[in-house]
Homo-oligomer: A and B are copies of this chain.
C-alpha cells in the first residue's frame, strides 16, 4: 500500500511584470505557503526553475533559495524539465515524501523573464527545440502554429471557424483571469480585441500565445493527513524533434502521462470536475482536452464552441485564466496549475470564480514542444470517492518501447506539404518574417524546410532543394496567380480520408 501524500499549503506571488528579483518572488510565494500550511518544520526544499542561469546569470539556485528563505542547512535540490518544471519538481517532492524519508517538503517554482528583450527571451526559450529544427529558425510559436494548422486541416475547419474557436479559448481564459487576483492579465478581451491582434506565427495571433511573465508559486507537501490528497501522477516524454512523431495533432506525452495518472488514482476522465490545461497556445488547450480523454480526438474544438469548458460550463478548463491570462513564468506554470486546483478543491476561492462542488481536479503541463509532459490529479479526502477503475483509453495512448534513433534526412527533392506557418517574431539572429513547413518526402518521413513564399497550402506537392545545410521548398507546380486559387487548393486537399488520417 503506497504512502499517501497531502497538500498542506499553497502560496503565490502575483504573476506579471515585476520589479522584484526572482529570489524575492520565490521567497514571497514560499512564505505564504508556509503560513498557509501550518506545518511544524520543513525537511526539504525543492526548487523549480527552467533557464534561470540564462535569464538571471545565477546558478547554484537551490542553495541560493534555501539561504534566502533563512534556512541554510536544509537540503535543497533544483528539478527541471523545461516548461513542465513546475509539475516535475512537484513530482520529485512527492517521491521524497512518499518514500517516508521526509515529512514536510516545500516546493517553490518561479521564473523571471520580463527584464530581457523579447528576441533574447525567444532565443532562450527556443533552446528547448531539437537542434535541427532550431537551425531553421523554428521557435515555439512557429512549431505550435504548424501543429494548429494541421489540426485545422484534419478537423476540416475553415480559416474563419478556426480563428473563431481559438478566439473563444483566448476570450474564455482572459475572462477567467479577470477574476483571479494573481493573474498577469485581469482585463476581459472581446472578439474585436482578438481579431485586432497581430500574427505571431500564422494562424496564431498575440492572443493565442501565453505572455512573457515573472512569477513564483509554492506548495507544501506532507505525510500528515490533510483535506487535499495527491491521487494521481503521470509523466512521459516524446521525441525531441516534432518531425519524428506519429501525429502532429495529438501529444503522445500527454496521452501516456494521463493514462498513468488516471490509473494511479483509479479514476477515469469522467471523474474529473475541472482541469488546468497547458494553454501556452490556444490550440494546445484544445488538443490537451482531447489527449486527456475529455473529448474525442479532433472534436475538442466543439466543446469550446458550445461553452462546455467555460468556468460555469460542464467541464471548466483553466479557471485560473491558464497560461494565457494568469501568465507563463516557464518554470512556475505547472506548480501554479496545481496551486489553482488545490485552492478550488478547498473551496477557498472568491465566489465569482469558485467551481462549486469540485471534488477532483487535474493539471496537464507541457515540457518543451510536448516532449516532457506531466499530468497531476488532486482530490478532496472528505467527499464521495468514485468506484476505483482502471481506465482503458478508447485510443492508443502510445508506448515507450525502445526505438531506433531516427537518422537525419540528408537529401530530398520533392514531397507534399504537411503543414506550414509564417513566423513574424523570430528568435535573435533569424530574419523576419520566416516561412517554415514540414514536408512529407516520398519515403514517408517528415523534413523541415524554409520557403521564400508565404502562399502555401497543406497537401500541395512541393519541390525541395538544399541550400547550405537547410532545405528550401517551393510549390510544384508554382502557385496559381489567382488569389482564390489557394483556397480552392485547400478544399481539394481536404478529402475526408485525409482529415482522419492522423487522428488517433
- Give A residues with C-beta under 8 Å from B: 2-3, 44, 50-51, 53-54, 57-64, 66-82, 88, 91-92, 94-96, 98-101, 124, 127-131, 233, 235-241, 252-253, 256, 264, 367-368, 371-372, 398-405
Partner of A62 from B80, B264, B398 at Cβ < 8 Å: B80
Partner of A63 from B58, B70, B372 at Cβ < 8 Å: B372
Chain B positions within 8 Å of A80 at CB level: 61-62, 77-80
Chain B positions within 8 Å of A67 at CB level: 237-241, 371
Residue of B nearest to A74 (CB): B400
- The answer on a CB contact under 8 Å between B239 and A127 is no
Chain B positions within 8 Å of A70 at CB level: 402-405
- The answer on a CB contact under 8 Å between A60 and B405 is no
User: Could you jot down 14 A-B contacts, CB within 8 Å?
Assistant: A54-B54, A62-B80, A62-B81, A62-B237, A63-B372, A68-B405, A77-B92, A78-B81, A80-B80, A94-B99, A95-B101, A98-B101, A99-B99, A101-B264
Residue of B nearest to A57 (CB): B127
- The answer on a CB contact under 8 Å between B60 and A127 is yes
Chain B positions within 8 Å of A404 at CB level: 70
Chain B positions within 8 Å of A54 at CB level: 53-54
- The answer on a CB contact under 8 Å between B2 and A100 is yes
Partner of A128 from B60, B77, B399 at Cβ < 8 Å: B60
CB distance from A404 to the nearest CB of B (A): 7
Partner of A400 from B68, B73, B82 at Cβ < 8 Å: B73
CB distance from A40 to the nearest CB of B (A): 12
Kindly list 11 other residue pairs between chains A and B, CB separation below 8 angstroms, not including A74-B237, A77-B91.
A53-B127, A59-B82, A59-B127, A60-B128, A62-B367, A63-B368, A64-B130, A67-B238, A70-B403, A73-B253, A101-B264
- The answer on a CB contact under 8 Å between B100 and A82 is no
Chain B positions within 8 Å of A95 at CB level: 92, 95-96, 98-99, 101
Chain B positions within 8 Å of A96 at CB level: 92, 95
Known contacts A2-B99, A73-B400; is A128 also within 8 Å of B59 by CB?
yes
**Which 3 pairs from chain A and chain B are nearest by CB?**
A73-B400, A75-B235, A60-B128
A241 CA to B67 CA in the complex, in Å?
9
A77 CA to B96 CA in the complex, in Å?
14
Chain B positions within 8 Å of A88 at CB level: 62, 77
Chain B positions within 8 Å of A64 at CB level: 130, 240
A135 CA to B333 CA in the complex, in Å?
32
A60 CA to B402 CA in the complex, in Å?
20
Partner of A99 from B44, B98, B130, B402 at Cβ < 8 Å: B98
Chain B positions within 8 Å of A253 at CB level: 73
Known contacts A72-B400, A99-B3, A100-B98; is A237 also within 8 Å of B79 by CB?
no
Chain B positions within 8 Å of A77 at CB level: 79-81, 88, 91-92, 235, 372
- The answer on a CB contact under 8 Å between B127 and A73 is no
- The answer on a CB contact under 8 Å between B75 and A236 is yes
